[in-house]
Structure 1
Amino acid sequence: MKIIKLSPDDEVGCAEAVAVDSAGWKLDCPEFVQHTPRTFANMLRYGWDLEPPQAYLASEGDTAVGVLTVDLPQYENTDHAWLDVKVHPDHRGRGIGSALIEYGEQVTRDLGRTITGFGGLDLPKAEAFARRHGYIQKSVEVNRRQDLAGLDWGLVQRMYDESLTAASAYELLRLTGPLPEDLLEGMVAVTESINDAPRDDLDLEDDVYSPERLRAYEEAQAKSDRTVYRVVARRKDTGDLAGHTVVAVERERPYLGEQHDTAVSRDHRGHRLGALLKSAMLLWLREQEPALTQIDTWNAESNDHMIGINKALNYHIVARILDYQKTL
C-alpha cells in the first residue's frame, strides 16, 4: 500500500479521496452530508479559519482504498492532532484503517504533538477499532438536521414574537460578509462564549479568539464559496453585543446550510436570546435563500438547552459521533 500526501490542486487525488469517503458514508450513514471534490479541495486550501488540515490518500496499485486527514489546531490545543480515517467498504477488514491511524500518529509525533483524537460513528466496529488502538471515549456529539420543508413557520414566528418580548432591551443586527470594524472587538468576546458549551471529558483548552482569527474565518468561508449569515443581539442602552448565531450556505449546493455557531454571553443570559437569534435567522434565510432545504448542526449530547431549542425547530438526529482521545 502506498500513502501520499494530497494537494488541493491534485484534482484526480481529491476526487479519489471523495469517492472513498462517500462510499463509506453511503454504507454507514447515508444521510450524512458528503464532500464534493470541490469542497474537499477547499477544505485543504482554507480549512475552517485558514488552518487547513493535511490529507493522505492510500492506494494499492491504481485503486484508492483509504483516506487519512490530520487536523492540527494552531490557535489553541497546539499539542493535539485530530485524525479521521476512512476505508473504502470493499477493502475493509484488511488492516488498512489500522495502518492509516498509525501513520497519523507518526505524523503527530514528528510534529512534536502528544495527544491524538478522532470521532467515529456510534457503531460496534468503530468502538472496537478505538479500543484496539488504545483510544478512550471522552464525549458524544450529535449531528442534527433541520428539514425546512416540514418546518412549522407559524411556530417559528411565535417563537420569534415571544422571545422578542422577553428580550425587549435588545435589538438585532443582520450581517453578511466581513464584520464591520466597529463590531469586531465586541464579537471576539461574544464568540468566546462558545467555550461555555459542554465538552464532557475531552482534554481541551478553551478556544482563543482575536480580531485576526475572526477575519481568518471570514476569509476561509468566502474563499470556500459559502455565504455566511450572522444575526447579532445588541443591548439598546449600552451598545454591548450580547450574542449571535451564524449559518453558512454553500454556493455549489445552495440547498445545504450549516449552523456554525450560536452563543450568548454569560452576562446577557436569561432573556431568551438563544431562541430569538435562532428564529430570527430562520425568518431571514427564508427570504434570502429560497433553495435552502436543510440546516445541519452539531452539539454535545449533554447540551440540553440548545438541543431543546433545536427539537422545537424540527431538527432530527442524523448521526451520533463518539469522540475518542489518546496520549501518545
Structure 2
Amino acid sequence: MEISKLLPDDEAGCAEAVALKNSAAKLDCPEMLQPTARSYANMLRYGWDMEPEYAYLARDADGNAIGLLGMGVNLYDNTNQVWIDVDVHPDHRGRGVGSALFEYGESLTRELGRDTIGYGCVDLPKADAFARRHGFVQKAVEVNRRQDLTGLDYGVVQRLYDDALAASTSYELTKLTGPLPEELLEDMVTLTASINDAPKDDLDMEDDVYSPARLRAYEEAQSKSDHTVYRVIAREKSTGALAGHTVISVERERPHIGEQHDTAVDRAHRGHRLGALVKSAMLLWLRETEPGLTQVDTWNAESNDHMISINEQLNYKIVARILAYQKKI
C-alpha cells in the first residue's frame, strides 16, 4: 500500500477520492451529503475560510484508491490540534488500511508539532470500537440534520416569523449577500464570536478566534468555491448594535443544496426570540431568491437543545449522528 498527498489540481485523484467517499457512505450512512469532485478540490484549495484541508490517498499495488485520510489543520485558533477523517473502501476493510491511515495522520501531526488529534465517525458500533482501539476518547456527539424545503409548511414559517417579530420590536433586520459592508465588519467580528457559547461538551478546545481578516477570508473562500452566501442580521434600533445573525451558503454547482453556516445571538440580546426571527426570515427570503433550493443541512451538538428546538419547528430531520473523539499524542 502506498499513501500519497492529494493535490487540488489532480482532477482524477479528486474524482477517485469522492468515489471512495461515496462508496463508504453508501454502506455507513447513505443519506449523508458528499462532495463533488469539484467541491472536494475547492476544499483542498480554500477550505472554509482560506484554511485549506489536506488529503492523502492510499492505493493498493494495482494503483486502486482504497483509503482516504483528510486533515484539517487549524491556523486561526486551537493550533495545537489536527482533525482527521478516515474513509476506507468497503471492499478493503479489515485489512489494516484504516489503521495505516490513522498512524500516518498521527505521524503528520507530530511533524507539525501538535499534540492533539480530533476524529469524527458515524455512530456505528464497529466505528466506535475502531476509534477506541486506536486510543481515542469520545468527547461529544454532533448531529447532522436536513431541512426538506419541498415539504416545509411555509404557514408554520410565517407564524414563527410573526411571533418572533412581535417579541423583538426593538430590533430590525438587514439582509445581505456577498461581502459584508466595511462599516459592519468590526461589529460582525464580535457577533460571530457569539458562536463560542454553543456547547462544546467535553471537547478540549479553545474558543474560536475571529478577526476582520478571518471574516474576509471566509467570504473569499466561499466565493472562490462558487457559493452564494446569504446573511440575515438583527440590529437593535436604538443603538445600532448587531444582536444576532444567521448565514446560509448555497452551492452554484448544485443549487438545490444549501448549508447552514452559522446562527448566533449576542448574549446581551438574548430572550427576544432573535434566533427564531433571523432563521424564519431567512427561509422566507430564500423562498423568493433561490426557488430551486430544496434542502439545507445543519450541524449542532446533540446537547444544543435551544437551537435544535427551533430547527425541529422548521422541518429539520436527523440524517446522521457523528461521534467526536480526541487523542493526546
Same fold (TM > 0.5): yes
Instruction: State TM-score, norm by structure 2.
Output: 0.99
Instruction: Kindly state the Cα deviation for residue 70 of structure 1 after the two structures are TM-superposed.
Output: 1.0
Matches for 1:112-191 after TM superposition, within 5 Å:
112-191=113-192
Q: Distance between the aligned counterparts of 2:31 and 2:131, measured in 1?
A: 23
Structure 1 spans left out of the alignment, 5+ residues: none
Structure 2 spans left out of the alignment, 5+ residues: none
Number of aligned positions between the proteins: 328
Q: Distance between the aligned counterparts of 1:104 and 1:184, measured in 2?
A: 37
Q: Distance between the aligned counterparts of 1:262 and 1:131, measured in 2?
A: 33
- Segments ≥4 residues shifted beyond 3 Å: none
Aligned to 2:255: 254
Amino acid across the alignment from 1:218: E
Instruction: Kindly state the Cα deviation for residue 27 of structure 1 after the two structures are TM-superposed.
Output: 1.1
Matches for 1:51-90 after TM superposition, within 5 Å:
51-60=51-60, 61-90=62-91
User: 2:18 is paired with a residue of what secondary structure?
Assistant: helix
User: 2:240 is paired with a residue of what secondary structure?
Assistant: coil
Aligned to 1:232: 233
Amino acid across the alignment from 1:156: V
Instruction: Kindly state the Cα deviation for residue 20 of structure 1 after the two structures are TM-superposed.
Output: 0.7
User: 2:229 is paired with a residue of what secondary structure?
Assistant: strand
Aligned to 1:286: 287
User: 1:230 is paired with a residue of what secondary structure?
Assistant: strand
Instruction: Kindly state the Cα deviation for residue 307 of structure 1 after the two structures are TM-superposed.
Output: 0.2
Pair 1:46-2:61 in alignment: no
Instruction: Kindly state the Cα deviation for residue 28 of structure 1 after the two structures are TM-superposed.
Output: 0.9
Amino acid across the alignment from 1:89: P
Instruction: Kindly state the Cα deviation for residue 53 of structure 1 after the two structures are TM-superposed.
Output: 1.2
Deviation by residue 1:209-239 (Cα, 9 ceiling, x = unmatched): 0000000000000000100000000011110
Instruction: Kindly state the Cα deviation for residue 135 of structure 1 after the two structures are TM-superposed.
Output: 0.3
User: 1:149 is paired with a residue of what secondary structure?
Assistant: helix
Deviation by residue 1:274-301 (Cα, 9 ceiling, x = unmatched): 0000000000000010110000000000
Q: Distance between the aligned counterparts of 1:69 and 1:213, measured in 2?
A: 22
Deviation by residue 1:117-168 (Cα, 9 ceiling, x = unmatched): 1101100011111111000000000000000011110010001011011000
Amino acid across the alignment from 1:237: S
Amino acid across the alignment from 1:289: E
Instruction: Kindly state the Cα deviation for residue 324 of structure 1 after the two structures are TM-superposed.
Output: 0.3
Q: Distance between the aligned counterparts of 2:130 and 2:322, measured in 1?
A: 14
